[in-house]
Amino acid sequence: MRIFAKLITTLLLAASSSLAAPSKGCAYKVKEEINPPRGWTKHASAPADHLISLRFGLPQENFRTLEKHLYEVSDPAHSRYGQHLSKEEVEALVTPHPDSLSAVNNWLAGFNLKEDLNRSPAKDWVTIKVPVSLAEKMLDTKYYIWRHTESGDELVRTTSYSLPIDLHDHIEVVQPTTIFGRFRPAKSTISFIEDGDTVSASDLSNAEKIVAGESGVTVDASCNTTITVTCLKQLYNAVGVVPSGDSRNSIGVTGYLEQFANIQDLQSFFADQVPAAVNSTFKFESVVGGLNTQNLSQAGDEANLDVQFAFGISNPVPATFFSTAGRPPFNPDVRTTTNTNEPYSDWLDFILKQENPPHVISTSYGDDEQTVPQSFANRVCAGFAQLGARGVTLTFSSGDNGVGDGDANPATQKCITNDGRNATRFIPLFPAGCPFVTSVGGTASVPEVAVSRFFSGGGFSDYFARPLYQEVAVSQYLASLPKGTYAGLFNPHGRGIPDVAAQSDRFRIFLGGRIASIGGTSAASPTFAGFVALLNDARIKAHKPPLGFLNPLIYSIGASTFNDITVGHNSGCGTTGFNVTKGWDPVTGLGTLNFEKLKDVITSPFVL
């Protein structure tokens, strides 16, 4: 690592020293401005003493170098494959230039903001809690209470903010200002199974067997109506796979919006589906005051689904559930309330400080990409890249609305742009469109098809260009489309979504002490993450490092290990969306996992 350390020092010293601190009384210039967001109306002026946690993102001096390292350590054809960076090495690469640190410090000091500054480990984020009146002065703006017409959600936001001209090179983004996302879980309907209809998972497995499509594996016929851990291990060719529980392996699940993972329900689930896991549990991590409510009546359907299947598949791999505080809607007239509705920021602040984050982490939440300002989306995505460089696999659900927006009915989705043009446009999801995460779409039935009770989110990012690792696969798909298909409705140069898929409907969970059936791509992400934990166990047994950022692997030598899904589509915006086809497609990605095949690839002596 001496060479690496010397490289970091050289980069930092060589960085331009021409950036000057802003002069006193420097004129302000607009930094970011958006059109009034669709579906939100200006309700009233924000109370002057309402508190806001302002976050300032400083330029990450050597992010492109970090990105280069990320791709090298994630590419199985590279000699550095698996040689993930340390926390300190990553931080050294994204630490802002000293001139930027000085400029921002001096500017904040001009508002008597010297104490209580919360800095990220790399000092690339500075957070300060201030009243609206001071935020308006600092940003030369006016905050209002905005109300979402359909839901009644309220946010304190502005549609434009400014910074001193000399600070524009030192601050990339300030939030909460222009972000109007309606952060939500990616799940569809839930139904409870009546006591009289209750049968055990072992009873379900005694049904007749069927063949699961091209993989040739044998699956219980009951898996066409009820998905269990047994079904998933059969479908994805991992029957009998039991990881070692080695402390060097780990898995995590994120929880938001007051979604509480109930331990009693987890024990019931284990007794029903994974008897060997009974009496085991997960480590709980509170993020910015996230609660660990264990009242059965407050058990979260999303949280229970995620932990039961992610940890049920991977048990006894050490498991962690992260509970991040904050839930919209909120009352902005309550003076002591702070609600920024930027959960990824809070979670990233927390996880990037950890010396040993879980090796694979699943998230089943997202926003319409267009509701997240691109400057902020870029910075969040850069945070995910930092984790990837450190050897963390991040899986995200691709969403349940096909190519459309949040309206559950694909025929009535508005799919209107937020850029002032009010044009019809397919609506990709964020963070699923970040090129540094693995996006997971949804399938159903045996043999598998694209899920149709809701529609697997997919398409092409308007913010992020198509990464090199998926150039061949996505270009082949686009070349197969009839000329002019959906012209102008999507970005043919964007990052393709999703990367892979997994079952996502009729999952048998325990919720509030009762058996329930639930579906959505929120089930697909923790399912896939559970199998990644099993793959990491195989890597550890072979004396190899964990997989880390998966995409360069799965789009290259790992592509042939996925079961191609060729039936279905993802309706939305009044269209049938994209069709599923041979090879990669923007509905099910590369397809679903064949565990044994991919395990053989990643444990091969030819793969580092």
**Judging by DSSP bridges, how do beta strands 283-287 and 319-324 pair with one another?**
parallel
Q: What was the pLDDT predicted at 219?
A: 94
* CA 250 – CA 319 distance, rounded (Å): 6
Per residue in 579-599, pLDDT tens? Answer: 999 999 999 999 999 999 999
Q: Which residues pair with 287 in a beta bridge?
A: 324
* CA 359 – CA 361 distance, rounded (Å): 7
Residue at 607: amino acid letter: V
Residue 564 annotated as part of some ligand binding site: yes
Q: What was the pLDDT predicted at 208?
A: 80
Domain range summary for the chain, segments of one domain joined by +: 25-60+95-179, 190-324+359-602
> Which CATH number does the domain 190-324+359-602 belong to among 3.40.50.300, 3.40.50.200, 1.10.760.10, 3.40.1160.10?
3.40.50.200
- Indicate the pLDDT class of residue 38, thresholds 50, 70 and 90: confident
Q: What was the pLDDT predicted at 18?
A: 36
413: its two tokens: 């989705």
Per residue in 298-341, pLDDT tens? Answer: 989 999 999 999 999 999 999 999 999 875 445 555 444 455 55
- Indicate the pLDDT class of residue 3, thresholds 50, 70 and 90: very low
Mean pLDDT of 244-270: 95
* CA 348 – CA 357 distance, rounded (Å): 11
- Indicate the pLDDT class of residue 142, thresholds 50, 70 and 90: very high
Give the rounded percent of residues in the chain with a pLDDT score beyond 90.
73
* CA 567 – CA 546 distance, rounded (Å): 33
Give the rounded percent of residues in the chain with a pLDDT score beyond 70.
89
Q: Is the dihedral of CA 494, 500, 504, 510 positive or negative?
A: negative
Alpha helices in 440-571 (DSSP H): 471-480, 521-541, 551-554
Q: Left, alpha or beta for 293 (phi > 0: left; psi -120 to 50: alpha)? A: beta
* CA 138 – CA 132 distance, rounded (Å): 10
Q: What was the pLDDT predicted at 542?
A: 97
- Indicate the pLDDT class of residue 202, thresholds 50, 70 and 90: low
- Indicate the pLDDT class of residue 22, thresholds 50, 70 and 90: very low
* CA 469 – CA 559 distance, rounded (Å): 11
Q: What was the pLDDT predicted at 336?
A: 42
**Nearest of 23, 342, 280 to residue 164 by alpha carbon:** 23
Mean pLDDT of 254-264: 92
Active site residues: 302, 306, 522
Q: What was the pLDDT predicted at 8?
A: 46
Q: What was the pLDDT predicted at 163?
A: 98
Q: What was the pLDDT predicted at 68?
A: 98
Q: What is the signed CA dihedral for 578, 582, 586, 589, rounded to 10 degrees?
A: 150
* More confident site: 169 or 406: 169
Strands (E), 256-342: 283-287, 319-324
**Which of helix, strand or coil describes residue 370?**
helix
Q: What was the pLDDT predicted at 77?
A: 96
Q: Is the N-terminal amide bond of 546 cis, ω within 30° of 0?
A: no
Residue 57 annotated as part of some ligand binding site: no
CB 393 within 8 A of CB 334: no
Least confident range from 406-410, 522-526, 592-596: namely 406-410
Residue 494 annotated as part of some ligand binding site: no
Alpha helices in 315-436 (DSSP H): 343-352, 374-389
For the chain, give the mean pLDDT.
89
420: its two tokens: 């002032």
- 187 pLDDT higher than 90: no
* More confident site: 419 or 161: 161
121: its two tokens: 């480990």
Largest CA distance in the chain: 78
**Nearest of 457, 510, 529 to residue 301 by alpha carbon:** 510
* CA 456 – CA 403 distance, rounded (Å): 8
Mean pLDDT of 23-51: 87
Per residue in 422-446, pLDDT tens? Answer: 889 999 999 999 999 999 999 999 9
Q: What was the pLDDT predicted at 78?
A: 97
CB 402 within 8 A of CB 216: no
Q: Left, alpha or beta for 459 (phi > 0: left; psi -120 to 50: alpha)? A: left
Residue 583 annotated as part of some ligand binding site: yes
CB 344 within 8 A of CB 380: yes
**Judging by DSSP bridges, how do beta strands 360-363 and 251-255 pair with one another?**
parallel
Q: How does DSSP assign 235-260, residue by residue? A: HTT-TT------TT--EEEEE-TT-B
Q: What was the pLDDT predicted at 342?
A: 66
Q: What was the pLDDT predicted at 305?
A: 96
Residue 435's CB is within 10 A of a number of other CB atoms, namely 25
- Indicate the pLDDT class of residue 17, thresholds 50, 70 and 90: very low
Q: Is the dihedral of CA 301, 304, 306, 312 positive or negative?
A: negative
Mean pLDDT of 2-14: 45
Per residue in 469-513, pLDDT tens? Answer: 999 999 999 999 999 999 999 999 999 999 999 999 999 999 999
Q: What was the pLDDT predicted at 258?
A: 84
Name 501's Cβ contacts closer than 8 Å, sequence gap at least 6: 440, 441, 442, 443, 450, 456, 524, 565, 587, 588, 589, 591, 592
Q: What was the pLDDT predicted at 181?
A: 80
